[in-house]
Amino acid sequence: MSLRFYDTRAREVRDFTPLREGCVSLYLCGATVQAPPHIGHIRSGVTFDILRRWLLHKGYDVTFCRNVTDIDDKIINLAKAEAVEWWRVSERNQRAFTRAYEILGCLPPTVEPRATGHIPEMIELMRRLIDRGHAYAADDGSGDVYFKVDSYPAYGELSGQRPDEMRDADDGGGRAKRDSRDFALWKGARPGEPDWATPWGRGRPGWHLECSAMATKYLGGTFDIHGGGLDLVFPHHENEEAQSRAAGDGFARYWLHNGMLTMGGEKMGKSLGNSLLIPDVVQRVRPVELRYYLGQVQYRSSQDYSEEALHEAAAAYQRIEGFLTRAGEITGPVGTADVPAGFAAALDDDLGVSQALAVVHGHVRDGNSALAEGAKERAAGLAAELRAMLGVLGVDPLSEQWSGAGDSGLRGVVDALVSVAVEQRQAARARKDYATADTIRDRLAEAGIVVEDTPNGPRWELKHG
Ligand SMILES: [Zn+2]
């Protein structure tokens, strides 16, 4: 089966063929950095990281652009409330987002442009729209520039709405708007707010304009995939597409949208407190378990958060991990293989992670049976395929990311030191000196190292959380 995706614009699953053979260009609307991220903010990051890893696995050269919206009303208001410059607020929160993506093992974007670093590109795009009769500068001297919705007949096609039934653009635009659906490309300067010069007056960019300018700067006028959360389809993506296509660009060839992470069936709001901020959640489950949780539902479905579901996901992940650990102990170091055909077919079919995970868990079951039967070779083969699948999902426990092997080689040093201690403990037990054996175990526990006696000898691991 060939790779295919549900394209929001076509409202159907379409075969995917990239614009340039062997290459995929992917734009994802990144964070508006007005607060540190909670897990609802990060689902799209994980979703599109799985997409990217699958494309890489299939041999594509992927250019992944994820922007940062570093200026908006909330950032400005927060800065005013704290009596600091706006960029202190956005810098602080951007770092929190970067850290959260790292914690969850998302590959860094190829390029991560910031909106305020691309004002010349935005001015250029507004110039093209005004020249073509699709935009106008407000005639009240406010500095606002608006997109003229009635000049673009395809407006509404992406979100599937008819222009005459559409709600007004809710962007706080001024009285100089000629039509209530017209939306702001540029917001004229207001006292005490940051602004930049344009031929039409000072001001700051509108959110939609930013993404059009950044996507086309890095990926070209026409590119393969535009992604984002389902809540961005209208007006944000409708407006991005209208601007770019009205200006003469092809823009995105496929639109992919991930469902929302909800709580009690409702979109996660600001009133969550700190308990769902990424650094807090990873005190309760390990980062890799959080990633497994966020990535286990097909990306288009909404996912309702609960602490129980999070811990169930962690337990499911630990069963996978447990098999790989036992397989490693019994059959030797686990290698990697290609992914099984069933897994590939599932991911090719609009990233069907539910079916893909069915193959993963099938391998764990069969692998455990193989170990129980002493079929070492079969167990080793299943373990290798399992690692390959987990790698695509970004949750391979034996990978450098999650095994700690990347920590400047310290894992090996710790392993050697712990082995010495564990041997001393074994020796103490052998001579029936249980007091010494217990002391060694307790000292290791204080250092966060748990020693477990198994039929294959003692095993140690770091205590989590
Ligand atoms: Zn965007």
CATH number assigned to the domain comprising residue 231: 3.40.50.620
> How high is the pLDDT of residue 95?
97
How is residue 388 annotated by DSSP?
A: H
Kindly state whether residues 386 and 339 are assigned to the same domain.
yes
Low-confidence ranges of the chain (pLDDT < 50): 465
Q: What pLDDT does residue 457 have?
A: 72
Are residues 222 and 326 located together in one domain of the fold? no
Question: How many angstroms separate the most distant Cα atoms in the chain?
Answer: 93
Tokens of 257: 């949208």
- pLDDT given at position 18: 98
Overall domain count for the chain = 3
pLDDT at residue 465, as a whole number: 47
237 alpha carbon to ligand 1 midpoint, in Å? 7
Using the mean position of ligand 1's atoms as its centre, give its distance from the Cα of residue 231 in Å.
11
- 340 with 390, same domain: the answer is yes
* Domain identity same for 228 and 365: no
Point out the domain boundary residue: 401, 433, 450.
401
pLDDT of residue 166: 78
**Cα–Cα–Cα angle for 349, 309, 103, rounded to 5 degrees:** 75
What pLDDT is stored for residue 167 in this prediction?
A: 76
Neighbours of 432 (CB within 10 A): 7
The total of other beta-carbon atoms located within 10 Å of residue 404's CB is 13
Query: Residue 257's domain spans which residues?
Result: 19-119+206-263
DSSP 398: T
Nearest-angstrom CA–CA distance, 329 and 53: 28
Residue 85 burial (CB count, 10 A): 11
- Does one domain contain both 232 and 104? yes
Q: Do residues 386 and 336 touch, judged by C-beta distance below 8 A?
A: no
Backbone angles phi, psi at 329, to 5 degrees: -70, -35
> From the CA of 439, how far away is ligand 1's center (Å)?
57
Residue stretches of the annotated binding site for Zn(2+)? 29, 211, 236, 240
The alpha carbon of 334 and the centre of ligand 1 are apart by a number of angstroms equal to 41
Spacing, Cα 30 to ligand 1 middle (Å): 7
Q: What pLDDT digit, counting tens, does each position of 350-401 carry?
A: 999 999 999 999 999 999 999 999 999 999 999 999 999 999 999 999 998 8
Q: In this predicted structure, what is the pLDDT of residue 275?
A: 77
Beta strands in 340-384 (DSSP E): none
- Output the pLDDT for position 258: 97
- Is residue 236 included in any domain, yes or no? yes
- Residues 208, 18, 238: CA angle, nearest 5 degrees: 20
Q: How far apart, in whole angstroms, are the C-alpha atoms of residue 53 and residue 47?
A: 10
Q: How far apart are CA 86 and CA 197, in angstroms?
A: 18
390 in the same domain as 368? yes
The answer to whether 313 and 289 have CB atoms below 8 angstroms apart is yes
Q: What strand order describes the sheet that includes 203-205?
A: 135-137, 145-147, 183-188, 203-205
